[in-house]
């Protein structure tokens, strides 16, 4: 069956069709909101002065929120405060007993964690909105038509309300649409910038052949990232035969999948968060020369020193985050309770050491490849690619697009398979990623 027929099958399933249209509608609402300028800002004056902040740090934020940051829109902070809050809560779950208890409480614990994440989102947004207001007052004073105090208060109210509304839109997509709503909102903001950046690249390059070569390289990089995202090492697990009444359970061989990139995009997000600390301080102290010099260093993503530091931090956080999300001891205990064992390996401590050894061996090349993808935009930018278009060659942008795309396709394929339709692939299944 052809790919076109598979897409036609999507619209034969009423529930799936409604979910897709609902998701598209929510994404359109989000895109419209990114063009609404917040009160107290003269949109025409802001556009004439260069469209808002333009440093690499702020430019990356602007990429994730679909251009709303540069336009001083009501969605200027987008969903990023929610992502930050979720990361903090997840990290606290590894070290704080209270959050560890919540993670073990099942659905009730997840509801409490979600509620705490929402509260954290509001708090982080309030703090970031103050920095946004101070930075805009310092960099674009002619575009502000109200007093400084009124504008800061306005930023806190409007941007917090905007982020909470975007968070609600994402939850609606997850509940009634298709795919992970929060991730889709980030992805649509990134993709929205692709046509503009491609046209800038086209107009900048004197030779069209160079652009075609760049696109070909981009396709190859994307394919390699798909392989990285899908790659896994399957460990065979044998389950003992058990007789319960008249039924026989077990006696089969299953597989324990260990992903080459179990950490997903999180190591790059962590590394960027650290590299952005000077830039964050720079938003609050726009007139301090020392802070601004440090901000310029941390914002120069094409610099050699920046790339080396960024690469090293990415490798470290790949191992760190993999250790958080994958617990070999817990895997071994669960396997033992279910009567499973790895052939040739004793249950208990030896199984833990075996899984940990395999995990280390596959994580190391995965960390090197992921870190290379992270600094790939800097590499291609040094070869003459415009910075805006270079962002799509790797880093968070490409990993999010690939990861969210695979996750959404997996959900669509699940709906098709449940109704006895063929999926998108004739052999195998699309393996989704672990969500952000």
Is residue 430 very low, low, confident or very high in pLDDT (cuts 50, 70, 90)? Answer: low
Tell me: the pLDDT tens digits for 379-414?
A: 888 888 887 788 888 777 888 888 888 888 888 887
- Note the pLDDT of residue 398: 84
Q: Where are the alpha helices (DSSP H) in 276-342?
A: 277-284, 289-299, 304-325, 328-337
- Note the pLDDT of residue 245: 62
Distance CA 38, CA 262 (A): 39
Residue 427: both structure tokens together:
């052999």
Is residue 55 very low, low, confident or very high in pLDDT (cuts 50, 70, 90)? Answer: very low
Instruction: Decide which of 169 and 179 is more confident.
Output: 169
Facing residues of 248 across strands?
A: 243
Question: How does DSSP classify residue 114?
Answer: H
Distance CA 269, CA 274 (A): 9
Q: Where are the alpha helices (DSSP H) in 96-207?
A: 97-103, 106-139, 148-176, 181-192, 194-204
Facing residues of 243 across strands?
A: 248
Tell me: the pLDDT tens digits for 215-271?
A: 898 899 888 888 888 888 888 888 776 666 666 555 567 888 888 888 887 788 777
Tell me: the pLDDT tens digits for 309-353?
A: 888 888 988 888 888 888 888 888 888 887 788 888 888 888 888
Helix (H) or strand (E) holding 243: strand 242-244
Instruction: Decide which of 10 and 152 is more confident.
Output: 152
Q: Average model confidence (pLDDT) for the chain?
A: 81
Tell me: the pLDDT tens digits for 255-284?
A: 888 888 888 877 887 777 777 677 666 666
Q: Give the other-Cβ count within 10 Å of 51's Cβ.
A: 15
Kindly state the percentage of the chain with pLDDT values over 90: 10
């Amino acid at each position: 069956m052809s790919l076109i027929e598979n897409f036609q099958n999507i619209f034969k399933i009423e529930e799936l069709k409604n979910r897709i249209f609902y998701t598209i509608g929510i994404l359109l609402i989000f895109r419209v909101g990114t063009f609404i300028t917040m009160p107290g800002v003269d949109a025409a004056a802001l556009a004439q002065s260069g469209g808002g902040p333009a440093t690499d740090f702020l430019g990356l934020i602007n990429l994730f929120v679909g251009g709303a940051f540069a336009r001083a829109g009501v969605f200027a902070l987008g969903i990023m405060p929610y992502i930050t809050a979720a990361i903090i809560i997840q990290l606290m779950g590894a070290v704080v007993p209270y959050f560890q208890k919540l993670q073990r409480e099942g659905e009730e614990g997840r509801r409490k964690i979600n509620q705490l994440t929402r509260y954290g989102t509001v708090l982080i947004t309030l703090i970031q909105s103050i920095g946004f207001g101070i930075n805009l007052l310092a960099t674009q004073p002619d575009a502000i038509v109200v007093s400084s105090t009124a504008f800061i208060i306005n930023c806190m109210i409007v941007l917090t309300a905007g982020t909470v509304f975007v968070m609600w839109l994402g939850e609606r997509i997850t509940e009634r649409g298709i795919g992970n709503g929060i991730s889709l909102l980030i992805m649509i903001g990134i993709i929205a910038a692709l046509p503009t950046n491609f046209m800038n690249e086209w107009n900048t390059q004197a030779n069209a052949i160079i652009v075609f070569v760049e696109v070909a390289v981009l396709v190859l990089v994307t394919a390699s990232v798909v392989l990285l995202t899908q790659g896994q090492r399957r460990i065979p697990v044998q389950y003992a035969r058990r007789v319960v009444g008249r039924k026989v359970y077990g006696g089969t061989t299953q597989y324990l999948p260990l992903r080459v990139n179990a950490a997903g995009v999180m190591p790059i997000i962590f590394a960027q968060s650290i590299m952005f600390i000077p830039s964050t301080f720079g938003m609050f102290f726009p007139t301090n020369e020392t802070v601004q010099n440090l901000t310029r260093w941390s914002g120069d993503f094409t610099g050699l020193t920046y790339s080396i530091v960024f690469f090293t931090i990415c490798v470290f956080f790949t191992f760190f985050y993999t250790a958080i999300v994958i617990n070999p001891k817990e895997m071994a205990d669960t396997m033992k309770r279910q009567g499973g064992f790895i052939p040739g390996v004793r249950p208990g401590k030896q199984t833990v050491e075996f899984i940990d050894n395999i995990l280390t061996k596959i994580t190391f090349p995965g960390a090197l490849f992921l870190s290379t993808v992270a600094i790939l935009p800097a590499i291609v930018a040094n070869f003459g690619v415009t910075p805006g278009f270079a962002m799509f060659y790797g880093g968070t942008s490409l990993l999010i697009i690939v990861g969210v795309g695979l996750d959404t396709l997996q959900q669509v394929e699940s709906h098709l398979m449940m109704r006895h339709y063929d999926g998108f692939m004739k052999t195998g299944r699309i393996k989704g990623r672990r969500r952000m």
